[in-house]
Amino acid sequence: MVNTTIHLAGLTLDNPIIPASGTFGYGREFAELYDIRCLGSFSIKGTTKDPRFGNPTPRIAECPNGMINAVGLQNPGIEKVISEELPNIQKIFGKPVVANIGGFSLEEYVYCAEKMDACDNVGILEVNISCPNVHGGGMGFGTTAESAASVTEAVKKVTTKPVFVKLTPNVTDIVSIAKAVEAAGADGISMINTLVGMRIDLKRKKPVIANTTGGFSGPAILPVALAQVYRVYDAVQIPIIGMGGISSAEDVIEMMLAGAAAVQIGAANLVNPYICRDIVAALPEVMQKYGITNLEECTGGAHR
């Protein structure tokens, strides 16, 4: 008998599988396909203070072993998320969710964090300072240790929820930024967000995506994600939610061995909407194959 239970910032999850923000919406479409209560949790679509239509189309481009997206944080705004989406999630999921918030100023991050703090079914605040697809916010806050720390410190002042800061890989030294958000009070780190990428349409001789560049994700970035999680695990004491190219139960265990306490699965949801369900179902057999009885004990195993 194997144990897939993990503990994350005071929460007990049945397993470490968390669909990533922006790839699972608010769970409704997936709940029509399978019982999403099998998941450990899920990260809701990135929420901003005001409604956002997102970037102009086209905003998706396929790549070998991955995809590029530049959706641009399309969402109905925090008031509607709190009044409509979170109550609906409660009906179909019933477990705490991860609330991903974004902003274009320090004040917007604080506003969203304070609002989400009052929501009973929000278990973790995921502060996105790493979105490469918006201008004047997002990744701009995550590219220096100082700005990342300032957002973290401001958000921590207005919430009692655990705060996980979502870091960008598009920096010279992710370790220094991870250490800065830890020092500023972060309860955990989510990493990595997408790499910046682009495709060019040979017929039009122009970028495929209207935004020119977008976030590159999918199986091709797994080695990058593993290396960055491995490095950050050695540098901080707070838990890491690892993500980037995970698409199998074996990938989950590999990410946990690198240092992740839980994992998020993103692009794979857009290829196979059943992928998270299938990974949850496959975990016990894969654990047995590799002689693992308690999944939580895998975290950081490659360092020992």
* 63 flagged as catalytic: no
CA 215 – CA 196 distance, rounded (Å):
5
The Cα-based distances of 189 to 62, 121, 193, 247, 294 in angstroms read: 28, 20, 11, 21, 23
Helices (H), the chain: 28-31, 78-80, 86-92, 106-117, 145-156, 174-183, 222-235, 249-258, 267-271, 275-289
Which token pair is 118?
A: 């009052």
CA 199 – CA 209 distance, rounded (Å):
7
Which token pair is 246?
A: 């995970």
CA 275 – CA 266 distance, rounded (Å):
10
Which one of the listed residues 38, 63, 119, 131 is annotated catalytic? Answer: 131
Q: Which residues are catalytic?
A: 131
